[in-house]
Amino acid sequence: MKPSLALISILLLAPVGRMTAAEGPASVADLDAKTPASAAKVGWKLSFSEEFGGTQVDAAKWIIKDEKDRLAKNVSVSDGILKLVTGRDGKEWTSAWLSTKTFRQKYGWFECRFRIAGASGLNNAFWLNTPPERLALKDPALPRFEIDIVEAHYPREVAMNLHNWQGKHGGSGKKHVAEVDLSQDFHVYAFEWTPKELSWYFDGKKIRTIANTLCHAEQEVLLSTKVAPFAGMASAALEGKSMDVDYVRIYQKAE
């Protein structure tokens, strides 16, 4: 179980008051009091943290999708870990999806520590997407993009993608092959987003950087799984397997 240490030094940087992370200081509601002091980063201030220290998903922070093949019953929290379980509904596979309820951010450092499901066929994802309130405006002039911080596939594939959904679809992707089986232990997947560059990290090592010519608007944060052919051939071994999430931590540059 994770330690429950006070985050006094980080909370002092977060005055009460609701505003998006892109506009100003973090709301205390977006910070988890159980975040350990070791989460502090020099030159950064925490804007959102989730340590999954309760017995269920915090409904003030997250929306759990419960439709089609993404089901709320596949989501659970225990012993400091969020589990996104892969199930079956008759012949159909089911998986899970969470998105931040109100938290949005443009630029910063986005980090998640998780262990992928130990079977082929599942997309284990930590990503940023155009929030529903912007999509609802149906304005083709507004930016629509997706940043896949990681789409991890058993046993060792780390996929990093950028999608432009404004007009004709475009984007770019890269795959990194880890030296270890990603289902055997937890690994840290991180992303640094600046006005000029987009950089992806795996266990503290930078594995991709590209120029930022597209991503200049607030995004929501998502954790999800999906049984998909591009993640490998699914078999009965996948049923009951889960993507296990230790934490999500998001930072802004300190002023």
pLDDT in tens, 102-142: 999 999 999 999 999 999 999 999 999 999 999 999 999 99
In terms of C-beta distances under 8 Å and separation of at least 24 residues, what long-range contacts does 230-236 make, across chains too? 230/123, 230/153, 231/120, 231/121, 231/122, 231/123, 231/151, 231/153, 231/154, 232/120, 232/121, 232/122, 232/153, 232/154, 233/120, 233/121, 234/93, 234/119, 234/120, 234/121, 234/122, 235/119, 235/120, 235/121
What radius of gyration, in Å, describes the C-alpha atoms of the chain? 18
Q: Is residue 14 part of a domain?
A: no
Is 243 among the domain residues? yes
Would you state the pLDDT for residue 24? 52
Q: pLDDT value at position 29?
A: 80
The C-alpha atoms of residue 166 and residue 205 are separated, in whole angstroms, by: 31
CATH of the domain at 181: 2.60.120.200
Asked whether residue 235 is assigned to any structural domain, the reply reads yes
Task: Express each pLDDT in 190-223 by its tens digit.
Answer: 999 999 999 999 999 999 999 999 999 999 999 9
**pLDDT above 90 for 250:** yes
In a domain, 37, yes or no: no
- What order of strands is seen across the sheet that includes strand 97-100? 62-64, 97-100, 220-227, 122-129, 145-153, 157-164, 170-177
pLDDT score recorded for residue 26: 63
Q: Which domain holds residue 132?
A: 48-253
Report the percent of the chain where pLDDT is more than 90.
86
CB 171 within 8 A of CB 162: yes
HEC assignment per residue over 147-172: EEEEEEECCCEEEEEEEECCCCCEEE
8, part of any domain = no
Instruction: Read off the pTM.
Output: 0.90
What mean pLDDT is predicted for residues 143-156? Answer: 98
How many distinct structural domains can be found in the chain?
A: 1
Task: Return d(Cα 105, Cα 110) in angstroms, integer.
Answer: 10
Read off φ and ψ for residue 186, nearest 5 degrees: -80, 145
pLDDT score recorded for residue 17: 32
pLDDT of 25 reads 54
Identify whether 41 is part of a domain. Answer: no
pLDDT band at 16 (very low <50, low <70, confident <90, very high): very low
Instruction: With residue 236 as reference, give the H or E element that holds it.
Output: none
Q: Is residue 63 part of a domain?
A: yes
Please choose, from the candidates 215, 191, 205, 223, the residue with its C-alpha nearest in 3D space to the C-alpha of residue 95: 223
Higher pLDDT, 22 or 219: 219
**Contact assessment for residue 117 and residue 124, using Cβ atoms and an 8 Å cutoff:** yes
pLDDT average, residue stretch 84-104:
97
Report if residue 9 sits inside a domain. no
Output the pLDDT for position 168: 79
Average pLDDT, the chain: 91
* 3-state SS string for 2-57: CCCCCCHHHHCCCCCCCCCCCCCCCCHHHCCCCCCHHHCCCCEEEEEEECCCCCCC
Q: Which residue has the higher pLDDT, 237 or 167?
A: 237
With a cut of 60, say whether residue 226 has pLDDT above it.
Answer: yes
